[in-house]
Structure formats: structure tokens, C-alpha cells
Amino acid sequence: MMTKLREIRLQVVTFISKFEAYLVPAGKFITAMIVFCIINAKFGYMTKIAKFPIALILGLFCSFMPMTMIIIIAALLTLLHAYALSIEFAIVLAVVYMIMFLMFFRFSPKDSFAVIITPICFLLKIPYVVPMSFGLVGSAGSSVSVACGAIVYYVLKYMVKASEAIAESGEDDHLTILRAILEGLIKYKEMIICAGAFALVVLVVYLVRRMSINYAWTIAMIIGALTGILTILVGDVMYKTDISIVGLLFGTILACGVVKIIQFILFDVDYSKTEKVQFEDDDYYYYVKAVPKITAGNIKDNRDRDDSGQGLISKIKSRKPAEKKEEKPTESDRSSQRIPSAREAAERKKAASEAAPQKRRSASKPEAVDIDKEFSRERAAYEARQAEIARRREAMRRREERLKKAEEAEIAAATKVVSEEDLQAAERRNAYQRKKLEERLTRNDNE
């Protein structure tokens, strides 16, 4: 079953890599259409823009633009709908968007998809999938993107509820409405708890899955699930929010299933074949832990591999020997060849089957000897390369010293020439002054 799934995964990856130039714009178009249609359906207060042709045109535009453009256009659409609802809602939403965009473009500008997918997953009742997934496949900055997506969902949700309450109250004072909206957002504890819990889960999962331990992704998944449950439960107890505990548990279980599928797609490894390599060069010691991937092409090799064979260490130590050229048969060989009888063929087959185990036993030791020889040869070649690098560095250092000495000599010669010229000019000036003084003394004597 797993072999078949890995073969299907390989086919899907091959198909995606082959038609990536067409699938990426198509994926952006589908994502943009889903986002714009949800906005028009949930917040369609401005009927002029809440139409399918406009969403279609915007989706086609976003299919050839970066993913960040979907976020910008979605923000503009929600601002227009909020303005149609009330100018106070538009002002508050614009301030929230400005703060989030400053945080988003500062910390995680490449995680646009997290901001887009988080509100969609909230609407689909599977929000806990997002932080665990981006903790596994994203970076530490993904925590900011996921938190921003959660804040967007809760702000828009609060706007819908607040608009209904304000319409029922009949309040017309703009400052009163604006103050009520801001106070409601600040006191919206469910938004603060979920945004903080999602950011914390992303960081915890990211840090654990980067550890050099076996089954790091699975451990990160479990720790992230427990972190999310405990954080939200503590926040619910402290602030008495209306977060569904049953939904939290079932959503976390579903999130574990989804991230397990993501792990199978992106990080399918065989920890039983883990190898550790230690080597050094002139500057560093290296301690490498290598975990082989499980692919559809090497499943049989991974199953049949033994201790003497084909891992990373043996790949480093040995090379595949060159195959011997097939020798052409001579005339005597051709004359000695004949078609054997059935009895002779059976006897030869029996003798070959009896000799096969002995050949396999005797072949292991020479192979080990060949591996050691190849490793020694590789080591000698490596040391020769390092010696050549050191020799070139020394030659470059000497060349730089020679150039430096030549420059210093040129500077000293130029300084000497300048000093000699100054000395000659001073002597000429002194001689001229002495001559003038003698003439003045002679004139005084004559007078």
C-alpha cells in the first residue's frame, strides 16, 4: 500500500514539475477567485463590486502577479465593503491593515499564502491545520503571517456583528461609534487568544522539527498540538471566552492528520538507515547525520540493503568500479562452443547452484578490501588537493608581499626625488639671497 502511494506521489511530483509554468498561475487564479467570492458573499455591502465578472477579472489579474497582490486586492475589497457599511468601520479596518502590513512586510513577506489561507480555514471550521502546517513547511516568520490571518478573520467577523448592533441601537454620532468599535476590538479576547496561540504553535513546531533527532517532524506535530490545546484552554479559563472545547479537540486531531499527510509528501525518510559521518579538513571538523529519503525508486533497495553495502558512508568510501570491456571471442573459442545437451545443461545448472553460496561468502572479504583501498585512494586525493590549495595560497601570499614591497619602494623613491628637488631649490634660494646681501654691503661701502 505504501509503495503504491509513493509511486503515486512520484507521478504527481513529476507532473507538477513538468507543467509548473501552467499550474502556478492556475493555482493563483483559483486561490484569488475563492478569496474574492468569499469576500463578496460574506461582506457584500457594496453591490457595485460584489459581482462575479469583477471577481473573475481580478482573479485573472492576480494569476500573473505575486501572491502578495491577492492580499492587497482583498484588503481593498474589504475596505470598500466596510466603507459602504460605515465610514467608521473603514477607518478602523484601514488602521488594522496598516499595522498588519507593516509587521507582515517586515518579518515574513514571502508567506503571503498563510495570510490568505488562514481566514479560509476559519470559515471551513479547520483553523488549527494552519499553524501546524506552516510550522512544518515554513519558517519562524510564518508565525507573524498566521497571526495576521487570524486577526483579519476576527476583525471582519466582529465588523458584521458590530454593524448589526449599531443598526439596532440607532446611534448616529461618528465619534461614539468609532470609540465603541475600538473598545470592542481591544476587548475581543477570542481574537487575541487565537492569534497568540497560533503564533506560538508555529514557533514551537518550527523549532522542534529542526532538531537533529529521529522522528523530529512527528514529535514537533505532537508538541505543537499539545501547545495549541493548552494555550487556548488557559486563555479560555482566564478570559472566559466562548471557544468550543470540542471543536478545539476535533480540530487538533484533524490538523494532526493533515500534517501527517504533508509529512508523507515532503519528508518521507527512513530513520532505521540513519548514518553518521565524521571527517575534517584544514579548518573544521564535520559531524554529519544523514537520513535517507524513501522514494518509489529505491524502496526495494532500502529493504534489501545490508550492513556491508550501499549507504552514504560506502558511497563516500567507494566508487563503482568500471565495467570490464567485453572481449571478443577468438577462433578457438568459437570452435570450442557448441550447443550442450539437456543432460549437460542440467549438470551445469546443479553445479552452479552449489557453487553460488560459496562464491557469495568469498566475495564479501575482497569487496571490503577494495572498499578500503578506494577509501585510501580517495583520502590521498583529498589530501593532495588540500596541499595544492595550501601551495596556491602561499604563492598568492608571497605575490602580495612582493607587490606590497614594490609599492613601498616606489613611494620611497618618489619621496626621495621630491626631497632632493626641494633641497636643490633651497640651495639656489640661499645662494641668491647671499648674492643680494653681498651687493648691498658693497654698495654701502662705496657710499
Q: What is the model's pLDDT at position 417?
A: 67
Q: Average pLDDT of the chain?
A: 77
End-to-end CA distance of the chain: 131
pLDDT (average), residues 283-299: 74
Tens of pLDDT, residue by residue over 311-322, are 444 554 444 444
Question: Whole-angstrom Cα distance, residue 152 to residue 140?
Answer: 20
pTM of the model: 0.63
Residue 319 in grid coordinates = 566508487
Tens of pLDDT, residue by residue over 128-181, are 888 999 888 888 888 888 888 888 888 888 887 777 776 666 666 667 777 777
* Closest by Cα among 220, 299, 297 to 260: 220
SS3 content of the chain, % helix, strand, coil (to 5): 75, 5, 20
User: What is the band of 283 on the pLDDT scale with cuts at 50, 70, 90?
Assistant: confident
Tell which wins on pLDDT, 217 or 280.
217
Structural domain boundaries of the chain?
Answer: 2-268, 269-312
Question: Whole-angstrom Cα distance, residue 31 to residue 63?
Answer: 9
SS3 277: strand
% of the chain beyond a pLDDT of 70: 78
Tell which wins on pLDDT, 356 or 184.
184
Asked whether the CA dihedral 152, 155, 161, 164 is positive or negative, the reply is negative
Q: What is the model's pLDDT at position 353?
A: 56
pLDDT (average), residues 332-348: 50
In 210-244, which residue ranges form alpha helices assigned H by DSSP?
216-239
- Count of Cβ atoms closer than 10 Å to residue 73 Cβ: 20
% of the chain beyond a pLDDT of 90: 7
Contact 42, 160 (CB under 8 A): yes
**33 Cβ partners below 8 Å, 6+ apart?**
55, 56, 59
Say whether pLDDT at 354 is over 90: no
- Count of Cβ atoms closer than 10 Å to residue 129 Cβ: 21
Q: What is the model's pLDDT at position 298?
A: 54
Say whether pLDDT at 426 is over 50: yes
Tens of pLDDT, residue by residue over 53-67, are 888 999 999 888 888
